[in-house]
Structure 1
Amino acid sequence: MTHAARAVTDVLQPRNVLLVGMTGLGLAAESSVAGAGWGLVAALCAGVVPASYIEWERRRGTWGDRHVVDRRQRPRIFAVILASLGLGSAVMLLADAPADLLTAMVALWAMTVLLLAVNALWKISVDAAVASAVVTLLAVVHSPWWLLAHVLTAAVCWSRVALGYHSAAQTVAGAALGAATGALLL
């Protein structure tokens, strides 16, 4: 069971979910290759830059792995995410990116602020929040049928609990916060 949980948490980590989801969101927002390109830019800012920072700190020996289990070490990660989302949003705004994608970036920024605030007191699941947010954003922008993909959010929640990174409550809270993020597009 641990092997399956590890596979789920690695495949559905935030960087990967954001790469696929934001690219799809850009494509849905503009129905073109340019839209998918804007989605890739959004994914770079929302997922790839933060994951690269985590990997850099891991290689330096600051953290043992990408999960950063000590919540006291997480504010630096949140600062990098907020800066990357903010800078990416500004560039996308100036370059006239699709409005739905810009709104999604702002929603992810707001979600990160809330994750940071909660993290000060309790270790909420960022992985669950991102998985839920991306599914909800796709449902709002593209089709309500995307809500069925919350089965993947449930898999992320299960894997995080099975691996001992979070309690069930921490994953449910993360998933709920992520779903509320998507509501910002309504």
Structure 2
Amino acid sequence: MDDRDLARLAGAQTTPAARWIAGALTPANVVLALMAYLAVKYADSLGAAAAWWMAALVLVVGVPYLILYRALRKGTASDRQVVQRSQRPVLMASAATAVTIALVVLNVAGAPRPLVWLILAMICGLVAMALTTLVWKASMHLAVAAGAAAVLAIENNVAGLAAALFLPLLAWARWRDGRHSMAQLIGGAVIGAVVAGVVYGLLR
């Protein structure tokens, strides 16, 4: 599967639009936007919302990215997108561990419950993607974006539907960049939406 993914990437004919869309809708950007929405909606004040968002930025997004950059420096990840499936399980497990620690810290510190529920849904999504990656590669971009749309739909149906409209655009960008096959994109979207929607919906 790694060879097939690398061959697809080598033969890709990307466009500036595809690169821009994929860059704008990276998992980090999507997660931070959703966390900002939940923090503003549920925190006691805008100042508190900003503080919780900054804490989540560092603990939930910043630490996993540091893990990725460390893997890039050590050579255990060949690129920032981690195209090769064989390199993904360890990174996903490390990210899940880091986010679990973040969950404990934010929960003890008294973060708004929906923010904590979102982080728990993220952990479950990471575990599901890590287990999937042991046998098959699915798109993390689509998993995160679809999961975010599912959570947003639980909070606000109209906003969730609007967010879901971006999923085909993101799938096209990742396909055009040669990062994934259509099956991998659809698989990631299904995993992300189902896991995040079920976990967050049950907790809410």
* Corresponding residue for residue 5 of structure 2: none
Q: 1:58 Cα shift?
A: 2.4
What TM-score does the superposition give when structure 1 sets the normalisation length?
Answer: 0.90
Q: 1:31 Cα shift?
A: 5.7
- Structure 2 runs not aligned, ≥5 long: 1-13
Q: Percent identity?
A: 31
- Distance of aligned partners of 1:154 and 1:51 in 2 relative to their CA distance in 1, 3 Å threshold: farther
| Count of residue pairs brought into register by the alignment | 185
In 2: Cα distance, 1:182 partner to 1:124 partner: 18
> Which 4+ residue blocks in structure 1 deviate beyond 4 angstroms?
none
* Corresponding residue for residue 70 of structure 1: 84
In 2: Cα distance, 1:131 partner to 1:6 partner: 16
Task: Name which structure has the greater RCO, CA cutoff 8 Å, separation 6+.
Answer: 2
For the pair 1:112 / 2:126, whether they are aligned, the reply is: yes
For the pair 1:58 / 2:39, whether they are aligned, the reply is: no
What TM-score does the superposition give when structure 2 sets the normalisation length?
Answer: 0.82
Of 89, 111, 115, which residue of structure 2 is paired with 1:101?
A: 115
Map 1:13-162; keep pairs closer than 5 Å.
13-30=26-43, 32-33=45-46, 34-141=48-155, 143-147=156-160, 148-162=162-176
1:144 maps to amino acid: N
1:9 maps to amino acid: A
Which secondary structure state, in structure 1, belongs to the residue aligned with residue 116 of structure 2? helix
- Structure 1 runs not aligned, ≥5 long: none
In 1: Cα distance, 2:34 partner to 2:44 partner: 14
- Does the CA contact (< 8 Å) of 2:103 and 2:119 recur in 1? yes
Instruction: State which structure, 1 or 2, has the greater radius of gyration over its C-alpha atoms.
Output: 2
* Corresponding residue for residue 11 of structure 2: none
Q: 1:153 Cα shift?
A: 2.2
2:67 maps to amino acid: Y
In 2: Cα distance, 1:59 partner to 1:136 partner: 35
Cα RMSD (Å): 1.8
Which secondary structure state, in structure 2, belongs to the residue aligned with residue 184 of structure 1? helix
* Corresponding residue for residue 198 of structure 2: 183
- Does the CA contact (< 8 Å) of 1:124 and 1:174 recur in 2? yes
In 1: Cα distance, 2:67 partner to 2:152 partner: 26
1:27 maps to amino acid: V
Instruction: State the Cα deviation string for residues 119-140 of structure 1 (Å, max 9, x = none).
Output: 0011110111111112222232
